[in-house]
A and B are shown apart, each in its own frame.
Chain A
């Protein structure tokens, strides 16, 4: 250990178990309030029903909280788990963790997936999941040492405030010369002072000899972390190999890993070139299809978007292999070396920026009207080190700018900040204010839903207008895709469990661009299959990018190319070879359905999870203002006449806007009906008793919960 000063608050030794078919067979609970540890067994039912990863997290959290629990109550827990395949070093994208907690933004259960080494190392250290509850005074560091089999809760003074520096210091302290064996989870001052704090999960970049970080961004779990008085979680593990998970059939595992790796190595250079540019290629494709959010989701296109395109960022990225887990041949986790910020505590110093990815570019860039790549890098950097989610930051800031532009707020309310779209200095000031919990930044840092309420209450703003343009649903800020012209993606956002994040369904191209699902039945089928299959990745410790961001050469000849069934077959073999449970791609849907429905029920337990919470702001469905309508008048006029048989020629824009809105809102309700029916839910969006029984999640408290909501069949 290094030289940082610490006081030991509690410690215990444990026997490091041998893993069996991807499982350590136990979880670790830490109560910060009483400085107590508890090791709990993983039951057979947990494995069969919840699989691992998000499933384990949800089960632990369900048992930790009551329906009345608030995000900042001591019993709320931060749960982290990878999954049975997590840590496999030969299969691309096998190092993910999922974090869950009760969210300060939504008040309900939140999940966020992340790369870095923590989840797999935790498992190799002997725990399938970690559950941290209770509250401490601050400065607490949990250290799980998988080399010696010991757990320590430490109080450490004098640690850096910002997340990157903290990860670096703790990696050095606990890793010494073996820094690759250490992973750190930390947040930062921005997480403490906003409601959308993120968590940084570290991994050691041996080539660059530095600690790198990936972010569990969504839903403010970093804020919960800080509120608990946690400074960091640290895990250290011994060396590991393909044998460490003790897979049921190592030869079969090697065969499917080889096949998938071969596809990626051969096809990524021909397709999206993610190993060179990450997800930055998406920016211009979105812009060209009118799907890149600009100016708080008003429009989908901007003439300056090319400044934020892949060609620019590929020149800025530090070349080299950038996998966020061993053996990931997609290697999309790029960064920029030697960047010099113009503002804030690192002004004038050279720093390394992890990113940006597409979501950050669109969120803090185009959506706020900033088309300068260096400002995007600076915001990306500070969001990360302060522990702030770039997506919520971008969408919340864009909303504040829209309110400023529309006259809802002015200089008096912003403390003199000119929040005109594109004003990069104001946006950077706002970000530094957020980290300090000061000024108007502290207001924006509470998120869109809070701002809406405040602006109506304090400044007499029009509540309906703010509801239309405030891009949140369930309290979570939208991620960065325009959905106005894709009903299926409106459902992909609105009917998602945790709020509008595209990790459940990304159907825009299938729906809007290719028109491959024109009927409600087709849309609802896809809004069943895709959320289920995408959930499955989060149960197993897997990244979904290798599934469908690179597709097999013969994919277009398959019956449903969007499902990338060639890769799904490999995943079914992968699951079977590690866990010993023989499955087909169809079985993967059923595996996920159990957890998916359980999460929906969890929302219900927390007082949400019904139709009323699945509403989305109108700007996600169509033009919310006259200006937006007129910017794409031909498109909307044509829809009114061709699709709805209305003669728009005698109508003024406001009348057309109203007519279109009525139709589109009707469509969304019809879609909701169809999706609920397909998922086996009541018209109010609650899983039926029949569904719950079919999935084997009819635990007594679940049945009781359903009965309390009048669901008995």
Chain B
């Protein structure tokens, strides 16, 4: 089990950030997610595994700077 924006989500072996976003049916802009303590950017979503028990937050990165 992992949490995504504080909601629980079933985890599976080999899950990547892209899989996770598909699972939750994410639509809006999302350039960065934080997986535990690490910020992961969109170009790395496909290659970045999400470990079991991870705390994940979606970070839109549309404002800031």
Contact = CB atoms under 8 A, between A and B. Distances in A.
Contact of B37 (A311, A506, A509, A562): A311
Given A271-B34, A271-B57, A288-B44, A510 B62 contact: yes
A549 B37 CA distance: 17
A273 B57 CA distance: 11
A310 interface: yes
Contact of B60 (A310, A481, A508, A556): A556
Interface string A510-521: 100110100000
Interface in B33-64: 34, 37-39, 41-44, 57, 59-64
B57 A561 contact: no
Contact of B32 (A273, A285, A506, A563): A285
B64 A311 contact: no
B39 A509 contact: no
B41 A285 contact: yes
Interface in A294-318: 310-311
B59 A561 contact: no
A285 B39 contact: yes
Contacts of A516: 29, 62
A506 B62 contact: no
B interface, over-half SS? loop
A271 B55 CA distance: 11
Contacts of A548: 63-64
A272 B63 CA distance: 12
A284 B41 contact: yes
Contacts of A502: 65
A272 B29 contact: no
A276 to B, nearest CB: 9
Contacts of B59: 271-272
A270 interface: yes
Contacts of A284: 39, 41
A601 to B, nearest CB: 27
Contact of A509 (B6, B34, B64): B64
Contacts of A289: 31, 41-43
A555 B60 contact: yes
10 contacts: A285-B39, A288-B41, A289-B31, A502-B65, A506-B65, A508-B65, A513-B42, A547-B63, A561-B29, A562-B63
Given A516-B62, A551-B60, 11 more contacts: A271-B57, A272-B59, A285-B31, A285-B39, A288-B42, A289-B31, A289-B41, A311-B38, A514-B62, A551-B63, A563-B63
Interface of B: 5-6, 28-29, 31-32, 34, 37-39, 41-44, 57, 59-65
